[in-house]
Amino acid sequence: MSWSAGYVTDVDYTYGYYSELNPYYARFVLQDAGYALPAWHTACELGFGQGMSVNLHAASGSLQWYANDFNPQHAAFAQEMAAISGSGAVLSDESFAEFCARDDLPQFDFIGLHGIWSWISPDNRALIVDFVRRRLRVGGVLYISYNTLPGWAAFAPLRKLFATHAERMSAPGAGIEAQVKAALDFSQQLAAAEPRAFADSRVKDRLGSIAKQDPHYLAHEYFNRDWEPMYFADMAAALAPAKLAYACQASTMDQVPVLHFTPEQQALLDGIADPLFRETVRDYIQNQQFRRDYWIKGARKLAPAEQQAQWERMRVALAVPRDQVKMKLALPRGTINLTPALYDPLLDLLQDGQPRTLGELARQLPGAGMPRSQLVEVIRVLVGSRMLHPLPEQPAANGQAAARLNQRIVQLAQHSAGIAALASPQSGGGVPISRFTQLFIQQYLAGVREADGLARHVHGLLQRNRERVVHEGKTMDSDASQLAHLQGLAQRFLQAELAALQGMGIVPLA
């Protein structure tokens, strides 16, 4: 059997960063949900892809990381990044069977899998469950994401069509990118013939959106041999041998029911005593397609007074410049408007980019502040919508390994926009940062402190690379318009973004 075991290896996986794999983020979400957690010291990621998540977490936090991905090209890049940062992360390129059988691994406090479970064989899923059973310490947490039913039911035939076309109709020797293109072209021809299987308009809409996506991502998402979306109840049954209890979904937004359910739907859910069946019904109501879940081995809930004291010690920082905070959120139920009277006072306190505890924010709110239950909901919405960074009670690391990793990432940004996050020792994880901002950071640290100098450096770099700025889907053809655009971005970097970057420990205070 091939070492790839049916998984696409012809093209590299993307360089994505996934905050749900950050143990410090997980602790914030779980503590917000009221769980008691012991101190954590060790962590493991299974199937790390290009390894950006594990490297950002290892460099910006204090946990000892182990991780594995069977693709040697991915492992080579990830190991290079780990060596540059000096984080001590132990990264390997073994199969699940080999890695899970090792006897030199420690007990782990946190194990994470993102984008793996639905795309591997039943045998490999069984190996992972047994690994978690043996290697996850009591009190430890499993993060797992997977394609979910019933949300995928309407689209499963489309995925099968892609995979079957690639298997049966591809020209001999055709690479995976050619197979992806050919399968998409044929599927669009079939859609034009009005097949009854595509009668659901969402299928045609999905096909149209898929055609615009990165073929590297599509190859890994739709063209593997193994693919099995799963009902939540079946996931719970699969994980039962590992003694895991479901804790919560990996977004604080899911702790705010009014955002997701009508009063009638919420009343129905509230009437279901069994928590696992309640989650299944929730997926039916939302037609959930993808879940990101935390599970705990030995879950223990805090008493209300303990939970409040813990909540007050948690910290947050503004994730975007104050004037970029979105007061409208697009959710499956529709667009909701955030109430300025509730959100503005809190956002104003955080606009300097510096982290604050939730207790400090509660005390510093003007006037009589707001009831704690309301403040909790506001924090959950802002964290869940990625407008606040959730932070551990203390900075996660001293920042030296993070600085070395960030230096390498911004060097790579001179030639590629592939890596869109930098390491933050305040959060213990990655912070999404655009390529141009990365390049501005590099020059700022080299002593360039004026917008014009920052813009001209990036403009010259793009010219040497024979690249043009693409803004709102349009390529800027003239040098003058491109330079003017970059000058605006540089000015914004200095006036709005820099304070937040300093607050997160990514850029040292001047």
pLDDT tens per residue across span 455-483:
999 999 999 998 888 888 888 888 899 99
Among residues 296, 330, 351, the one where a domain terminates is 296
Q: Residues 345, 368: one domain?
A: yes
480 lies in some domain? no
Indicate whether 284 and 387 sit together in one domain.
Answer: no
| One domain, residues 207 and 348 | no
**Residue 164: per-residue pLDDT:** 79
- Rounded to 5 degrees, what are φ and ψ at 219? -60, -45
173 lies in the same domain as 27: no
Q: What is the pLDDT of residues 288-342, one digit of tens each?
A: 889 999 999 999 999 999 999 999 999 999 999 998 899 998 888 888 899 999 9
- Tell me the C-alpha distance between 8 and 300, whole Å: 40
> What does the DSSP 8-state code read for residue 44?
E
One domain for residues 59 and 129: yes
Is position 1 within any domain? no
Q: What integer pLDDT is reported at residue 409 of this predicted model?
A: 97
Domain of residue 52, CATH code: 3.40.50.150
pLDDT at 168: 78
Which residues make Cβ contacts (< 8 Å) with residue 229, sequence separation at least 6? 118, 146, 147, 148, 149, 151, 152, 156
Is residue 145 domain-shared with residue 66, that is, in the same domain? yes
More confident residue, 169 or 95: 95
β-strands 108-113, 90-92 pairing: unpaired
Phi, psi of 45 (to 5 degrees): -120, 130
Within 13 Å of residue 178, how many CA atoms lie on the same side as its CB? 8
Q: What's the domain count of the chain? A: 3
- Domain range holding 322? 315-391
418 in a structural domain: no
Residues 104-126 have a mean pLDDT of 94
Residue 379 in domain = yes
pLDDT in tens, 4-26: 444 444 445 578 899 999 999 99
Nearest to 143 by CA among 281, 32, 297: 297
Euclidean distance between CA atoms 503 and 492, whole angstroms: 16
Q: Taking the model in full, what pTM does it have? A: 0.88
Task: Note whether 146 and 78 are same-domain residues.
Answer: yes
What pLDDT digit, counting tens, does each position of 131-146 carry?
A: 999 999 999 999 999 9
Whether 118 and 170 map to the same domain: the answer is: no
Check whether residue 28 and residue 67 sit in a common domain.
Answer: yes
Integer angstrom CA distances of residue 382 from 170, 312, 362, 417: 47, 16, 15, 27
Per-residue tokens: 190: 């079939």
Q: For the chain, how far is it from start to end, CA to CA, in angstroms?
A: 57
Using alpha carbons, select from 432, 396, 307 the residue that is nearest to residue 87.
396
Task: Check pLDDT > 50 for residue 272.
Answer: yes
Domain-embedded: residue 447: no
- Torsion angle in degrees (nearest 10) through CA of 110, 114, 119, 123: 0
Q: Report the percentage of the chain scoring pLDDT > 90.
A: 69
Radius of gyration of the chain (CA): 23
Q: What is the mean pLDDT of residues 393-415?
A: 93
Same domain membership, residue 350 and residue 266: no
Domain identity same for 112 and 25: yes
CA distances from 457 to 142, 404, 443 (A): 44, 22, 8
* Per-residue tokens: 202: 């969402």
Better pLDDT: 29 or 7: 29
Amino acid, res. 213: Q
Asked if residue 105 and residue 23 are part of one domain, the reply reads: yes
Phi, psi of 230, deg, nearest 5:
-140, 140
Does residue 437 lie within any of the structural domains?
Answer: no
C-alpha to C-alpha distance for 29 and 377, rounded to whole angstroms: 13
